[in-house]
């Protein structure tokens, strides 16, 4: 699937899938898709390729968009005017794990906690890990010669993850949790293929899907403080997922075909992992309600629709 179409589809899924399942709307996201008319380039403008012209117009007129695709606007005389369709993703978004680390490094003390406290203390640890992940990402992008806009976005993401860590730690303490300290990571730098592979799984899949779950929690959590915290986290995670796709496009231009195929395989495996069966646990009903988490059936439905939306064949 074309990267630009994929970004647009993810924005639509984040805006509608989770909340549409319960007959609600997600706020302004659908209204953030704008068609911008273009004047065709002059014959002496030096533009040899229409794709380059569209890309230049997107850069100028949709600089902060998560997707920008060619479009056309119908005219009264039956003709069409060239345009671009610019998609912004703001209010519709859990975290990126450091390279080589799939679980929090520190053993978490969740003894005697209720289900909400247990979930929140793990969430706080994962958010702390995401701070490290984005710091490492920025360092590796810089070493690989990535453009400044990606470096700046990675730095911003690290700061946002620090805020997420503070918010989830505060929530965890309200439920009696002992909050883990900062996570530390490796000093080894990633190669371009390692960075791209990790980014495809953690950013393009996990963070994008995490945006759905965070938005669900922001709407359905019984604890009002959880709703407020998850609303902010949802916004930020949506932006982080968009960053992941921008990194993906940049890296693929620099990878050999074999490496590109391995990156795509990592993306497919991460997407299919979302479809793993989840046991129904009646003992966790408290967490489901207080924190607004989808139950097993709802999570399965979300995962199936998300994986289909990003063009992954679960049966392949």
Q: For the residues 229-236, what does the mean pLDDT come to?
A: 89
User: At how many degrees (to 10) do helices 192-199 and 257-273 cross?
Assistant: 30
- Quick: pLDDT tens for 3-22: 454 444 445 444 433 333 32
The CATH number linked to 244 is 1.20.1260
Instruction: Please check whether residues 80 and 113 belong to one and the same domain.
Output: no
* pLDDT at residue number 75: 77
* pLDDT at residue number 101: 56
Q: Does residue 180 lie in a domain region?
A: yes
Instruction: Please check whether residues 204 and 229 belong to one and the same domain.
Output: yes
Between 28 and 119, name the one with better pLDDT.
119
Burial of 77 (0-12, 13-18, 19+ CB in 10 A): exposed
Between 59 and 252, name the one with better pLDDT.
252
Q: Does residue 254 lie in a domain region?
A: yes
Instruction: Please check whether residues 131 and 209 belong to one and the same domain.
Output: yes
Task: Give the domain-ending residue among 74, 92, 110.
Answer: 92
Q: Does residue 316 lie in a domain region?
A: no
pLDDT band at 38; cut points 50, 70, 90:
confident
How many structural domains are present in the chain? 2
Instruction: Please check whether residues 101 and 233 belong to one and the same domain.
Output: yes
**DSSP labels for 175-207?**
TT-----------PPPPHHHHHHHHIIIIIIII
Provide CB contacts within 8 A for 21, sequence distance 6+: 298, 301, 302
* pLDDT at residue number 92: 32
- Quick: pLDDT tens for 152-203: 999 999 999 999 999 999 998 888 877 666 555 556 788 999 999 999 999 9
Phi, psi of 36 (to 5 degrees): -115, 115
- The range of the structural domain enclosing residue 97 comes to 93-309
């Amino acid at each position: 699937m074309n990267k630009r179409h994929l970004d647009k589809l993810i924005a639509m899924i984040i805006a509608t899938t989770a909340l549409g399942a319960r007959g609600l709307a997600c706020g302004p996201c659908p209204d953030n898709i704008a068609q911008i008319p273009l004047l065709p380039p002059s014959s002496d403008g030096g533009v040899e390729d229409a794709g380059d012209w569209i890309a230049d117009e997107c850069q100028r007129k949709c600089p902060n968009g998560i997707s920008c695709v060619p479009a056309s606007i119908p005219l009264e005389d039956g003709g069409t005017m060239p345009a671009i369709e610019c998609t912004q993703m703001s209010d519709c978004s859990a975290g990126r794990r450091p390279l080589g680390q799939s679980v929090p490094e520190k053993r978490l003390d969740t003894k005697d906690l209720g289900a909400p406290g247990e979930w929140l203390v793990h969430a706080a640890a994962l958010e702390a890990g995401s701070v490290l992940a984005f710091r490492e990402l920025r360092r590796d992008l810089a070493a690989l010669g990535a453009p400044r806009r990606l470096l700046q976005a990675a730095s911003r993401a690290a700061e946002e993850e620090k805020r997420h860590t503070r918010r989830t730690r505060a929530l965890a303490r309200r439920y009696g949790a002992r909050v883990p300290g900062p996570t530390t990571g490796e000093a080894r730098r990633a190669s371009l293929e390692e960075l791209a592979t990790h980014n495809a799984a953690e950013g393009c899949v996990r963070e994008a899907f995490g945006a759905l779950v965070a938005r669900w929690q922001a709407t359905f959590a019984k604890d009002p403080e959880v709703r407020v915290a998850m609303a902010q986290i949802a916004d930020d995670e949506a932006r982080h997922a968009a960053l992941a796709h921008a990194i993906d496009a940049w890296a693929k231009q620099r990878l050999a075909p074999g490496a590109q195929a391995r990156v795509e395989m990592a993306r497919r495996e991460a997407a299919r992992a979302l479809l793993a069966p989840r046991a129904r646990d009646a003992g966790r009903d408290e967490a489901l309600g207080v924190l607004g988490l989808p139950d097993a059936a709802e999570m399965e439905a979300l995962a199936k629709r998300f994986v289909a939306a990003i063009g992954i064949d679960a049966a392949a």
